[in-house]
């Protein structure tokens, strides 16, 4: 595969991940769980892909930006919520690339992704006057569930599909 073909492949994969992120966020919102202080964004399962390749950082982040276009919190969520995603994904990628065991990488993604929900709790506290610690608890809990489901799914998918190259 030429360098150009590899680059195009990465762009296509990132675009597919972004589209999947948007679709899963909208599915979550059908149940009222896509935005707000109580979230269970199924799309956050895709965060676990980052332990395989940095191209997933852009796919998930762009998906988050697009999904947040319909957020009730408007431009702040589009920027701040997507920035939280970009920062968390970058930290997950940088730390997990130093870990060799796949299960440990995925556990790291769960822990870091859940931790960074403090940024979303802070956003909700500022914009809606929601209590920070309760909001952090509820958003982090939803993130933990989504990431744990994602870790299991990605682990088993990775046994059959090359998510690295």
Extents of the domains making up the chain: 3-158
CATH top-level class for 3-158?
A: mainly alpha
| Per-residue confidence (pLDDT) for residue 68, from 0 to 100 | 97
| Per-residue confidence (pLDDT) for residue 143, from 0 to 100 | 98
pLDDT digits (tens, 9 = 90+) for 51-100: 999 999 999 999 999 999 999 999 999 999 999 999 999 999 999 999 99
pLDDT tops 90 at residue 161: yes
Work out the pLDDT band at 165, boundaries 50, 70, 90.
Answer: confident
CA-to-CA dists, residue 69 to 22, 79, 95, 140, 149, angstroms: 10, 10, 30, 22, 25
Work out the pLDDT band at 102, boundaries 50, 70, 90.
Answer: very high
User: What is the percent of the chain where pLDDT is above 90?
Assistant: 95
Region class of 74: left (phi > 0), else alpha (psi between -120 and 50), else beta:
left
| Per-residue confidence (pLDDT) for residue 112, from 0 to 100 | 98
The mean of the pLDDT values for the chain is: 96
| Per-residue confidence (pLDDT) for residue 81, from 0 to 100 | 97
């Amino acid at each position: 595969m030429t360098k150009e073909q590899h680059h195009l492949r990465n762009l296509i994969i990132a675009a597919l991940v972004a589209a999947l992120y948007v679709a899963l966020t909208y599915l979550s919102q059908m149940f009222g769980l896509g935005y707000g202080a109580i979230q269970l964004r199924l799309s956050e399962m895709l965060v676990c892909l980052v332990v395989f390749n940095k191209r997933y950082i852009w796919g998930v982040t762009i998906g988050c930006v697009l999904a947040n276009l319909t957020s009730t919190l408007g431009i702040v969520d589009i920027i701040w919520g997507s920035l939280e995603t970009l920062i968390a994904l970058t930290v997950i990628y940088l730390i997990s690339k130093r870990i060799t065991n796949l299960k440990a990488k995925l556990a790291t993604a769960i822990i870091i992704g859940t931790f960074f929900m403090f940024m979303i709790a802070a956003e909700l506290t500022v914009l809606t006057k929601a209590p920070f610690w309760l909001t952090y608890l509820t958003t982090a809990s939803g993130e933990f569930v989504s990431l744990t489901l994602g870790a299991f799914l990605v682990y088993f998918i990775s046994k059959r599909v090359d998510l690295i190259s």
